[in-house]
C-alpha cells in the first residue's frame, strides 16, 4: 500500500480556501480533512473539533514545547497549528489528507514532508479579494485593511508552491484541484511497488 498524499491548500485571507476545501471534502469522501488548532476566538457557526481545536495561548505554547505540531505559526496575532500525530497516522494508513493552512505553515510542511503537494489559491483580482473580505461580514474595516496590505507579501510566496489555482468560481477551482490530486496519485515517483 502506498503512503497517502498530503495536499496543502493555502492563500490569502478571503480567497475562498475554506469553501473550496469543504467542496473537495464533499466530493472525495475518503479525503481526510485535518482539523487545525488555533488560539483565535470561535466565530459564529463554528464547532469545536470540526472547524478547529480552540486552545488558550498557554495550552498552545505548551504543545509547541512538546513538539505536538507538524507546523505552527502566529498569524494576525493568533496561533495556528497542525496536530502532527493525526497527519502521520492517516498518511501511514494510505489515506489522502487535506490541510488548509497559512503560507508559513505550508512551507514548514513542505520541509518536513517534501512529497507533500502545495496548492496556492489566488483571487481573480485584488479588487475581488477586497470585495470578498468585506462581504464576509466577520472582520472590521481595520482588519480587512491589514489583510489586504499583507496580500503583496503573500503573493511573493507563490514561487514555493507546486500549483496555483485562481478561484474564479468554486466549481472551477475544485475541478482543478481534483485533477491535481488525480495526477499526483498517478505520479511514478509515488509508486512504491
| pLDDT over threshold 60, residue 140 | yes
Instruction: Tell me the pLDDT band of 29, cut-offs 50, 70 and 90.
Output: confident
pLDDT computed for residue 183 by the predictor: 94
Contact status, residue 151 vs residue 103, Cβ threshold 8 Å? no
- What gap in Å lies between CA 125 and CA 144, rounded to an integer? 16
The whole-number pLDDT of residue 1 equals 62
pLDDT digits (tens, 9 = 90+) for 82-107: 888 889 889 999 999 999 988 888 99
- At residue 192 the predicted structure's pLDDT band, cuts being 50, 70 and 90, is low
What's 6-190's CATH class? alpha beta
To the nearest 10°, the Cα dihedral for 11, 14, 16, 22? Answer: 100
Sheet holding 52-54, edge to edge: 52-54, 36-38, 78-83, 69-75
Q: What is the mean pLDDT of residues 6-20?
A: 90
Q: Is the pTM of this model over 0.85?
A: no
- Does residue 158 register a pLDDT over 70? yes
* Mean pLDDT of the 143-167 span: 85
* pLDDT at position 137: 64
Amino acid at each position: 500500500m502506498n503512503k497517502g498524499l498530503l495536499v496543502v491548500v493555502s492563500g490569502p485571507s478571503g480567497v475562498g480556501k475554506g469553501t473550496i476545501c469543504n467542496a473537495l471534502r464533499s466530493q472525495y469522501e475518503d479525503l481526510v480533512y485535518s482539523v487545525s488548532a488555533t488560539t483565535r476566538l470561535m466565530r459564529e457557526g463554528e464547532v469545536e473539533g470540526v472547524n478547529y481545536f480552540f486552545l488558550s495561548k498557554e495550552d498552545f505554547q505548551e504543545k509547541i514545547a512538546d513538539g505536538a505540531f507538524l507546523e505552527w505559526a502566529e498569524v494576525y496575532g493568533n496561533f495556528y497549528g497542525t496536530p502532527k500525530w493525526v497527519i502521520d497516522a492517516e498518511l501511514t494508513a494510505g489515506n489522502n489528507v487535506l490541510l488548509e493552512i497559512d503560507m508559513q505553515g505550508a512551507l514548514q510542511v513542505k520541509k518536513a514532508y517534501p512529497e507533500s503537494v502545495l496548492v496556492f489559491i489566488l483571487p481573480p483580482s485584488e479588487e475581488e479579494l477586497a470585495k470578498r473580505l468585506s462581504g464576509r461580514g466577520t472582520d472590521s474595516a481595520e482588519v480587512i485593511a491589514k489583510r489586504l496590505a499583507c496580500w503583496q507579501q503573500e503573493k511573493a510566496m507563490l514561487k514555493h508552491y507546486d500549483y496555483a489555482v485562481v478561484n474564479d468560481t468554486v466549481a472551477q477551482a475544485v475541478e482543478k484541484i481534483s485533477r491535481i490530486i488525480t495526477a499526483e496519485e498517478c505520479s511514478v515517483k509515488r509508486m512504491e511497488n
